[in-house]
């Protein structure tokens, strides 16, 4: 009888031990599953963050390409307008020179017809011929000078527009770099707050300090550059005045 009781007790103890082992295994399995789920969630979050950053960079690059394309199209349009204006000015100058030459020729013919009636006025005829020839030459020279002045002014205007566009593009590039750096800094701060081990925190801290130094350089670069004035003239006291190439007495001279 006592042996049966001992056997029952041993059996119960063994069952309890088996139950305890099963409970421990179940808890360990649950912990392992929870750890695996947490690791999967972390990896999914990191992948989502990477994909979001890649999408942002792709959109920014697309926006930059579109802006560059629009800038090229606008430059081509302005160049076409400029060439049309130059051609129009050239044609007008040639037309004025032709009209002046025709008027001088007509006056010359009328003067010759009048002078042929009186041979005693030969000296006056020679003088008048010289005057008419001078008028023709002066008309041609004036047309060329007008055309050259218009072309020179147009070239100066194009240089000023190119400088303005270059300054504007520089400002846009600095602004885009600044925004990208700020976004990267925010991401580094987020990673730094969630970092667990010290080595990762140190590495992230170094990257954050480098990004902050980069932002400081961008701020200095953006604040130190100034857009050129709309007139395009150099600041007084800093450079020498360009030499004047206008003909004496030219009413269209820009050096005055």
pLDDT 10s digits, 199-249: 888 888 888 888 888 878 877 765 444 444 344 433 333 444 455 555 555
How far, in Å, CA of 154 to CA of 82, rounded?
8
- 248 φ, ψ (degrees, to nearest 5): -60, 135
Tokens of residue 25, six digits: 């295994």
**Rounded CA separation 140/171 (Å):** 47
Parts of the chain with a pLDDT under 70 = 1-11, 114-144, 146-147, 221-256
Burial class (CB in 10 A: 0-12, 13-18, 19+), 143: buried
Check residue 235 and give its pLDDT: 38
Nearest to 162 by CA among 78, 97, 221, 238: 78
Instruction: Note whether 139 and 101 are within 8 A (CB).
Output: yes
The pLDDT of residue 231 is 40
pLDDT for 117 equals: 64
Residue 218 · residue 182 · CB < 8 Å: no
DSSP state, 246?
Answer: P
* Token digits of residue 158: 């194009």
Asked if residues 127 and 115 have their Cβ atoms less than 8 Å apart, the reply is: no
Q: Measuring CA to CA, how many Å separate 232 from each of 86, 156, 164, 238?
A: 21, 9, 9, 14
Cβ distance 173 to 60 under 8 Å? no
């Amino acid at each position: 009888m006592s042996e049966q009781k001992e056997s029952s007790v041993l059996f119960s103890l063994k069952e309890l031990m088996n139950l305890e082992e099963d409970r421990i295994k179940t808890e360990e399995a649950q912990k392992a599953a929870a750890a695996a789920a947490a690791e999967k969630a972390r990896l999914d979050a990191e992948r989502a963050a990477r994909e979001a950053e890649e999408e942002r960079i792709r959109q920014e690059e697309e926006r930059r390409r579109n802006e560059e394309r629009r800038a090229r199209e606008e430059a081509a349009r302005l160049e076409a307008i400029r060439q049309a204006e130059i051609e129009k000015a050239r044609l007008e100058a040639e037309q004025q020179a032709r009209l002046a030459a025709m008027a001088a020729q007509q006056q010359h013919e009328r003067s010759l017809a009048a002078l042929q009636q009186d041979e005693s006025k030969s000296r006056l005829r020679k003088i008048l011929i010289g005057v008419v020839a001078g008028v023709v030459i002066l008309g041609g020279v004036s047309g060329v000078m007008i055309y050259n002045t218009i072309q020179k002014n147009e070239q100066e205007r194009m240089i000023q527009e190119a400088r303005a566009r270059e300054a504007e593009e520089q400002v846009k590039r600095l602004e885009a770099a600044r925004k990208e750096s700020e976004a990267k800094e925010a991401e580094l701060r987020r990673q730094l707050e969630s970092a667990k081990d010290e080595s990762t925190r140190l590495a992230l801290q170094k990257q954050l300090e480098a990004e902050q130094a980069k932002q400081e350089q961008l701020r200095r670069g953006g604040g130190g550059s100034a857009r050129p004035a709309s007139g395009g003239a150099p600041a007084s006291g800093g450079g020498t005045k360009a030499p004047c190439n206008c003909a004496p007495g030219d009413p269209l001279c820009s050096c005055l």
